[in-house]
Chain A
Amino acid sequence: MPRLIASLGFAAGILASTSAWAVEISISCSALGKEYEICKQGVDAWAKKTGNTVKIVSTPNSATERLALYQQLLAAGASDIDVFQIDVVWTGILADHLMDLSAKGQADIDDHLPAMVETSRVNGKLMAMPWFADAGLLYYRQDLLDKYKRPVPQTWADLTETARLIQDGERKDGRGDFWGYVWQGRAYEGLTTNALEWVASFGGGAIVDDKGDVTIENPKAAEALKAAAGWVGTITPEGVLNYTEEESRGVFQAGNAAFMRNWPYAWALAQGTDSTIKGKVGIAPLPKGGADGRNAGTLGGQLLAVSKYSKNADAATDLVLYLTGQQEQKRRAVEGSFNPTIVSLYSDADIAKANPFIGDLVDVFTNAVARPATATGQNYNKVSTEFFNAVHQVLSKRAEPAQALNRLDRDLKRIKRDGWK
């Protein structure tokens, strides 16, 4: 009997020690386009360095579905996934289930874009590490601006005028399906990002301010929405009210629009070999609301977080720090044109050589406007839904801006009733 206990103890010792040497970490990487391949190379490099193994768990492409899956996994306290790739607006929603990375991430966090760091914090605690950044950009057709001798628009009024001029001109030349400006107007999160850009660029705030006060009902926000509603049916096809990123890219990349609002991913595709507008496209910050307005692109991007239920939290944290570190972010920028969150990389020569446009984006990211996810916490989705539905009503001319904002203000305050949680 003692021998049995001893051998059992020995076996347990072996098990325990092997798991301390080499563990298996599961990471959820997005599998959109190139993302999976680039992610796999990154985790493989870490696995080789540390001797651990990493399993990539594929998750749904749709962001809403992915969040729902994460919530179900985490609410059940499942330890199946150690490292989660999360959207910048999910930190508050998932924070209860994530590990506080404040201590271990402290050394590196100051290198990152402040706006991205802000989205990673909840109540002052660092719950995730920034991985790559995204922001709304204005895409324009350089060849058409040259043809009509117009500069890149600086304000929305400029854009409206230029778009109308080009549209009228092109239509006179027999291109009946040509439009001035396309963007994302479907009633979904993408409309929140678009509309927030208009409102912020006019100086109308960010729906809810840092202190958690609802600020959306103001004349500047109403002015911004009025301008946007004026585009629909004139320089923007009415169908934009059901467009997501890909539909608007479809119109722009087919050469049927002068301007487009989209994320940086559209750049590589617009310049691809099979693109009809290859070499004719430029990017710029989104226009200002007026002379006293500002350039405002909504901040997007992804973070990496460690599950509180992870059985190998130390190794998982190490993986997160490796993937979000300088070396890996540089590799991702060069090979996958993912925008780094580490500020110093924007002046990196290798990145500038591989993807010249990344260097231009640093201003866009530093001026980017964040969605009120931190202030509203678990209620962010409700706030966003109320907002995009109100905007959608204005765009489809079923409500006047002031009236819609008044109702929105009331609804948001009702959601806030007992604080944002």
Chain B
Amino acid sequence: MTSAVAQEDAPVPVAARGRRSSLTRSRIRAAWAFIAPSLIILALIAGWPLARTIWFSFTDANLNNLSDYEFIGFENYLANYDGEWLGLLTDPDWWHSVWNTVWFTLVSVSIETVLGIVVALILNAAFPGRGLMRAIILIPWAIPTIVSAKMWNWMLHDQFGVINDMLLRLGLIAAPITWTANPDTALWTVVMVDVWKTTPFMALLILAALQMLPGDIYEAAKVDGVHPVRVFFRVTLPLIKPALLVAVIFRALDSLRVFDLIYVLTANSRDTMSMSVYARQQLVDFQEVGLGSAASTLIFLIIALLVVITLAAGRVRLGEDPR
């Protein structure tokens, strides 16, 4: 848009302008022709469901009879009945689930990023059996979440779980820990399983970035006798930062939508409920398609907002770097 304006402002001969714009126009037309199929597909598989969800969030639709509903405006979000405020925005359970999700995302993505860098640095070093090691480390990521969550659920069982057994034998704990039942440990347990599962993903993305780094910088650093830790913070980290940022955003997006892990490990418990678990409960268990859609719409808005913030923060810091 801005470039088009700039072009028009430039003192271009009338004839030349006509020729160029016809060329531009045909180029634009070709570009549209190429983009159109993917745009149509996107609109069908992403745009339409999203629009429908947003529409449903302004209705009192019920799963029991989806063809009969009324437009009720913002009542699902906030409404005043006889002086009492009701709706999603006043539901403490909803805000608790938002807090759970954000906490879970911050903690698990931070741990995964740090561990991912460590694992990637190790895998980047040349040692015998490196190829095999790289394949092995991907196993947790390759197992479907629902399977690994169920598996962990049994391993963490307080009576016959293997984790408690090992800790007891090692003498680290005196009595079995009730990992998923105790509200104080439940969310940490979910974080632990998530870290186990997705650190390989982080490591893989960071490893790919590490492989792209030019070797001569490191040679120069070695010749100059710079301490490896200093090399990591002054050379490696700034260089892999763009890739790291992408990986963090990918993971954050994923964990903001976390559902299966929490649902399998702790079911509908309020203490560990995430935003997606809340939305599913409203939609399916309570058949409140309207309210559930309102929750889904808010999830969409919250995630979009957080991504924009993250991107902006990343860009600002990137801009400061060159000095």
**CB of B154, distance to nearest CB on chain A (Å):** 9
- Residues in B neighbouring A72, C-beta threshold 8 A: 63
From residue 75 to 93 of chain B, which have CB atoms closer than 8 A to chain A? 81, 86
A71 to B66, CA, bound (A): 10
Query: CB distance B183 to A75 under 8 Å?
Result: no
Q: Mark B255-270, 1 if CB is under 8 A from A, else 0.
A: 0000000000011111
Query: CB distance A241 to B285 under 8 Å?
Result: no
Q: Is B44 at the interface (CB under 8 A from chain A)?
A: no
Query: CB distance B160 to A71 under 8 Å?
Result: no
Query: CB distance B287 to A378 under 8 Å?
Result: yes
Query: CB distance A241 to B81 under 8 Å?
Result: no
Closest to B161 in A: A239
A254 to B160, CA, bound (A): 10
Closest to B270 in A: A389
**CB of B167, distance to nearest CB on chain A (Å):** 14
Contact of A242 among B65, B178, B284 (CB under 8 A): B178
- Residues in A neighbouring B267, C-beta threshold 8 A: 186-188
A239 to B270, CA, bound (A): 17
A96 to B62, CA, bound (A): 12
Contact of B178 among A188, A241, A250, A381 (CB under 8 A): A241
Q: Is B176 at the interface (CB under 8 A from chain A)?
A: yes
- Residues in B neighbouring A237, C-beta threshold 8 A: 158-159, 176, 178
State whether A187 and B268 are in contact (beta carbons under 8 Å apart), knowing that A237-B158, A414-B86 are contacts in the complex. Answer: yes
**CB of B266, distance to nearest CB on chain A (Å):** 7
Query: CB distance B157 to A392 under 8 Å?
Result: no
Query: CB distance B63 to A71 under 8 Å?
Result: yes
Q: Mark A232-244, 1 if CB is under 8 A from B, else 0.
A: 0000011111110
A247 to B178, CA, bound (A): 13
State whether A75 and B66 are in contact (beta carbons under 8 Å apart), knowing that A238-B178, A241-B181, A414-B86 are contacts in the complex. Answer: yes
Query: CB distance A239 to B176 under 8 Å?
Result: yes
Q: Is A64 at the interface (CB under 8 A from chain B)?
A: yes
From residue 85 to 139 of chain B, which have CB atoms closer than 8 A to chain A? 86
- Residues in A neighbouring B269, C-beta threshold 8 A: 186-187, 389, 392
Query: CB distance B268 to A188 under 8 Å?
Result: yes
Query: CB distance B181 to A96 under 8 Å?
Result: no
Query: CB distance B182 to A238 under 8 Å?
Result: yes
Q: Is A57 at the interface (CB under 8 A from chain B)?
A: no
Q: Is B198 at the interface (CB under 8 A from chain A)?
A: no
Interface size class of A (residues with CB under 8 A): 35 or more
Query: CB distance B183 to A381 under 8 Å?
Result: no
**CB of A168, distance to nearest CB on chain B (Å):** 16
**CB of A291, distance to nearest CB on chain B (Å):** 33
Q: Is A417 at the interface (CB under 8 A from chain B)?
A: yes
**CB of A10, distance to nearest CB on chain B (Å):** 38
Q: Is A348 at the interface (CB under 8 A from chain B)?
A: no
A250 to B161, CA, bound (A): 11
Q: Is A334 at the interface (CB under 8 A from chain B)?
A: no
Q: Is B59 at the interface (CB under 8 A from chain A)?
A: no
A75 to B284, CA, bound (A): 12
Closest to B288 in A: A382
Interface size on B, residues (CB 8 A): 27
Q: Is B32 at the interface (CB under 8 A from chain A)?
A: no
- Chain B: interface secondary structure? loop
Closest to A75 in B: B66
Q: Is A398 at the interface (CB under 8 A from chain B)?
A: yes
Closest to A72 in B: B63
Q: Mark A89-113, 1 if CB is under 8 A from B, else 0.
A: 0000100110000000000000000
- Chain A: interface secondary structure? helix
Q: Is A256 at the interface (CB under 8 A from chain B)?
A: yes
Contact of A64 among B66, B157, B285 (CB under 8 A): B285
Contact of A398 among B160, B176, B178, B183 (CB under 8 A): B183
Closest to A185 in B: B181
Q: Is A54 at the interface (CB under 8 A from chain B)?
A: no
State whether A239 and B65 are in contact (beta carbons under 8 Å apart), knowing that A385-B285, A417-B81 are contacts in the complex. Answer: no
- Residues in A neighbouring B183, C-beta threshold 8 A: 396, 398
State whether A239 and B285 are in contact (beta carbons under 8 Å apart), knowing that A71-B64, A392-B269 are contacts in the complex. Answer: no
Query: CB distance B64 to A187 under 8 Å?
Result: no
Query: CB distance B160 to A238 under 8 Å?
Result: no
- Residues in B neighbouring A417, C-beta threshold 8 A: 81
- Residues in A neighbouring B268, C-beta threshold 8 A: 187-188, 385
Query: CB distance A93 to B64 under 8 Å?
Result: yes
Q: Mark A383-407, 1 if CB is under 8 A from B, else 0.
A: 0010001001100101000000000
Query: CB distance A250 to B64 under 8 Å?
Result: no
Q: Mark B158-176, 1 if CB is under 8 A from A, else 0.
A: 1110000000000000001
**CB of B183, distance to nearest CB on chain A (Å):** 6
A242 to B266, CA, bound (A): 7
Q: Is B48 at the interface (CB under 8 A from chain A)?
A: no
Query: CB distance A251 to B159 under 8 Å?
Result: yes
A389 to B183, CA, bound (A): 12
Contact of B287 among A93, A177, A238, A250 (CB under 8 A): A93
State whether A250 and B285 are in contact (beta carbons under 8 Å apart), knowing that A187-B270, A237-B178, A398-B183 are contacts in the complex. Answer: no
Query: CB distance B182 to A241 under 8 Å?
Result: yes
A72 to B289, CA, bound (A): 12
Q: Is B286 at the interface (CB under 8 A from chain A)?
A: yes
- Residues in A neighbouring B266, C-beta threshold 8 A: 187, 242
Q: Mark A60-83, 1 if CB is under 8 A from B, else 0.
A: 000010001001100110000000
**Further contacts, 5 of them, CB under 8 A, given A97-B64, A187-B266, A385-B285:** A64-B285, A68-B284, A238-B158, A238-B178, A414-B86
Q: Can you report 24 A-B residue pairs in the complex whose CB atoms are below 8 A from each other?
A: A64-B284, A68-B284, A75-B65, A76-B66, A93-B287, A177-B159, A186-B267, A187-B266, A187-B270, A237-B158, A238-B178, A239-B158, A239-B178, A240-B181, A241-B182, A242-B266, A247-B159, A251-B159, A254-B160, A378-B64, A378-B287, A382-B285, A382-B286, A393-B270
- Listed from nearest, the 4 A-B pairs whose CB atoms lie closest are A239-B158, A242-B181, A241-B181, A187-B269
